[in-house]
Chains A and B, each alone.
Chain A
């Protein structure tokens, strides 16, 4: 598959093994900069595992054996001597369910700034506001910045997690079904933010909703049992799938 854009992430021969399961098989994939790439595929096909490999969250699961190369800006992040914290800060992860940190709304966002070494009070305040606005949450929380983040609704928490992720200034946003726990209104908000965010960030999005894929994706990757079956611009893959498996999946899902 030809991709004209410059790839920010290049995955080469990525294989992930669990003790009794070959989860990802020979993944070879380029993810273009400042685009939304959607990962599609049936449950259990390895989408989450692929995302977690991209920020080495797979390190937390020693039972997983990972082989291959993942280059981000030409750095091989799978190299054992790379500083994981740095890699993870380049690759913000938005998980399926929001997990706000056990502190105030303000501090949730300021936490990332602090990790980055930004501690001057007025700059922190300015940036927190900036990121909350980027995540479309500012207006709803500006009067209660110092109350606990756990009191927010799930939809608000998810946007807070987005703001928190943006605060570490990532290059890539990895989003694992970020709207699956949300109501339609919050979903729309997140989707809208994604459209805006791709100006500055590269987004890799896992979703089960074909309609969401249609609305957001520039590129679609269809994965089946750990293999990439088909991969290309959204209209090619979703409207004119070449592979039998993709056809089946797309027609069942619409």
Chain B
């Protein structure tokens, strides 16, 4: 007909196409992992650490990497929360007055977000040497925490930005102090979004291999303290996949299934938490 509707048609088609494409690619990836991983999947995979000869196709599992990943990503996320939440709150409560400064901070964080994980890995490695640490759970946690902080801060910042200024003024008008405004009003309003931000960072932390390559080390055992090295699922997948032995490579796919399921569980829990929160926040105690 006319140009406008043609344009509209074109862009609608384009979005449809990209959606389908994305869906196809995702399904393909998941199908591949499942197809190759399921036959190699076994109870041993998730309940046993590698036994002697595991990397030659003999028995054992990747429990070391599962637990290691939980420790590492959990610890890093926890550390990152303690840094990111105050920073994001500070940006949106105290720094709103200084818009141009704030814009620069955001730009900086966006750049840091884009820095490849391997750079963080190298940085973590330098830090580690400087402090005389060895490749360990602690060094891994610190590196991953540094890596996911910009993500978490920016994601939290985006959530807090959408909170209307009027709400803040309403809170102040009642005579609340800054701290009360920050923690009772802002944080509460933002909680569902903040949960998502934390999970985003956690997902990145648990799935990343490059940052922990030099810093967390690798071991067949479950770490017993922060100074011991730890295995992680991404690295475990990487090592198994580089094996010349077919059976070992198949098990890499089984480990990939485990990692995917863990990430899926995290995001489902996150969804659940924020829905529950929305439903009951009205009744909840402070």
Contact = CB atoms under 8 A, between A and B. Distances in A.
Nearest to B278: A148
A147 B168 CA distance: 22
A111 B281 contact: no
B97 A92 contact: no
A168 B282 CA distance: 21
B169 interface: yes
Contacts of A57: 169, 172-173
Given A62-B97, A85-B177, A102 B281 contact: yes
Nearest to A149: B282
A51 B186 CA distance: 24
B164 interface: yes
Interface string A88-102: 110111010101011
A61 B168 CA distance: 13
B282 A146 contact: yes
B282 A88 contact: no
Nearest to A90: B175
Nearest to B167: A99
Interface in A84-130: 85-86, 88-89, 91-93, 95, 97, 99, 101-105, 107, 111-112, 115
A97 B97 CA distance: 22
Contact of A101 (B97, B170, B175): B170
Interface in B159-173: 164, 166-173
A102 B189 contact: yes
How extensive is the interface on chain B, given as a class? 20 to 34
B174 A148 contact: no
B175 A89 contact: yes
Interface string B158-202: 000000101111111111110010001100110000000000000
B163 to A, nearest CB: 9
Nearest to A147: B282
Nearest to B170: A99
A55 B176 contact: no
A51 B70 CA distance: 53
A231 interface: no
Interface SS of chain B: helix
B283 interface: yes
A63 B281 CA distance: 36
A72 interface: no
A95 B166 contact: yes
A33 interface: no
A95 B173 CA distance: 10
A104 B176 contact: no
A104 B282 contact: yes
A185 interface: no
A103 B188 contact: yes
B170 A161 contact: yes
Contacts of B174: 88-89, 92, 111-112, 115, 164-165, 168
B282 A103 contact: yes
9 shortest A-B CB distances, which residue pairs? A89-B175, A104-B282, A93-B173, A102-B189, A148-B282, A99-B170, A85-B175, A99-B167, A88-B175
10 contacts: A60-B97, A60-B168, A63-B97, A88-B172, A92-B174, A101-B170, A103-B281, A115-B175, A146-B283, A168-B175
Given A92-B173, A115-B175, A146-B282, 15 more contacts: A60-B168, A60-B172, A85-B176, A88-B173, A95-B169, A95-B173, A101-B171, A102-B167, A104-B282, A112-B174, A148-B278, A148-B281, A148-B282, A164-B174, A168-B174
